[in-house]
Structure 1
Amino acid sequence: MSIRVLELYPADLSLNGDVGNRTALVRRMRLAGIDVEELSYSPGDDLPETADFVLIGTGTSSAVRSIAADVERIAPTLRAWSEAGVVFVAAGAGFHLLSTSVRLSATEVFPGAGIFAGSVDSSSMRIITEAFAIDSEFGLLIGTENHTALYTGRPDQKPLGRVRNGFGNGDGTEGARVNNSIGTHCHGPFLVLNPVVADALIEVAAKRAGVEYQPGPEHAELDGVIDLARAILLAKVSA
């Protein structure tokens, strides 16, 4: 049994190193002896029949404009997957495109896929946080932040966490969670710097697929290196 990892629009939404989320998931699963099938989706393609992970990264406003119609086309399938429990990790513009709507300017508003019940205004001033820190159910999450968005979520859909350092959604919260789907403004990449989240999501996907995920010594060695990178960012949070 293979775990299928699908990345949406890798040629369009590849800023801020978010491709590393795919790399992190695949590496950790293969270290645990799990067979992984890597898939990519570009505008106009047919989606695969199934996926266990769906990843989407961030990009420019022009990239959002160019793929918005295609996102609307595949939105029903993406929503159905998320409602069925498929794991989604959406960062930056990808998070925004999977929300209900994205405003790029006073005259440009595009519908999103509707997985995350929130609207996005991406016409605000740019926010850059070198040490973006979020208190969450997974513990303290760390990364970087680079966007121009205000995300207004719905009260019945919980955020990923609360901002300790940075801007996040703009109201003290960060990101969104629904079913097994996570949307975030956190880069770095998100799953590389926060392996506790990667492992939690792998466990969910593996259980759904009837596969056992058991991290081993190689994971611990890898996480030791990641801890050094986290420590550098955490020192900036404390400063």
Structure 2
Amino acid sequence: MTTPDHQSPAPQPSAPAAKDRIYRSPLGLMGGVLLLALVGWLGIDALFRGSGHTPWLALAGLILLVPLVIAFTLRPAVFANDDRLRVRNPFRVVTVPWGEIASLRSGYSNEVVVKSGDKYQLWAIPVSLRARKKATRRQARAEAEARGGGRSGMFGGGAFGGGGLGGGPRGSAASDGPHRAETDKIMDDLRATLERQEHAESAQGEVTVRWAYEIAAPAVAGAILLAILLAVG
């Protein structure tokens, strides 16, 4: 009588990779689409209706300008998950594990500073000083309303009902938390992820930088062609 062979346990499926949170500039995307439409309209019109060297100049201009518009408007993005931060800037992609990040700095621009001392600007998360000032004014107004709520509470039991002048909207404005510019909120979110994941085993590794030759090569080719056409006259 034979005994059945012991079957090895079925391999367990690997845990799904954490999904990236993607941060991009809505204004950059909108501006890029409009610029591409304008460049395409002018360039194609000159390409098909121009005479002499004009079509060649239009072609060279399109080869030069289209990659640059894409690079500075549509391309920038920041991808974040529990393992690493990937920064896609106009001409390079920087992948930084959370364990290699020294700080996320906000000044006139938002930057990631790695432990080696190198800094990389976050093109997709631009700083808006106007938005910061607006958020500061809203925060000051909310704090003033919160302070005034106690003084106006004397009207609470009168003809105005239980809430009084100091209840309702003023109380809710104070409880909404501090007002922050949208890009500052994004940086706060990234800093929270850094604090949570910087010592995780899966968040260790090396910083890698890859240049975007698919953007640089056609732009350089267009610039060379345009220079030759202008030199020839």
TM-score by length of 1: 0.24
> Of the two structures, which has the highest relative contact order with CA contacts closer than 8 Å and spacing of 6 or more?
2
Greater percentage in strand: 1
TM-score if structure 2 supplies the norm length? 0.25
* Higher normalized helix content (fraction of residues): 2
Structure (1 or 2) with the larger CA radius of gyration: 2
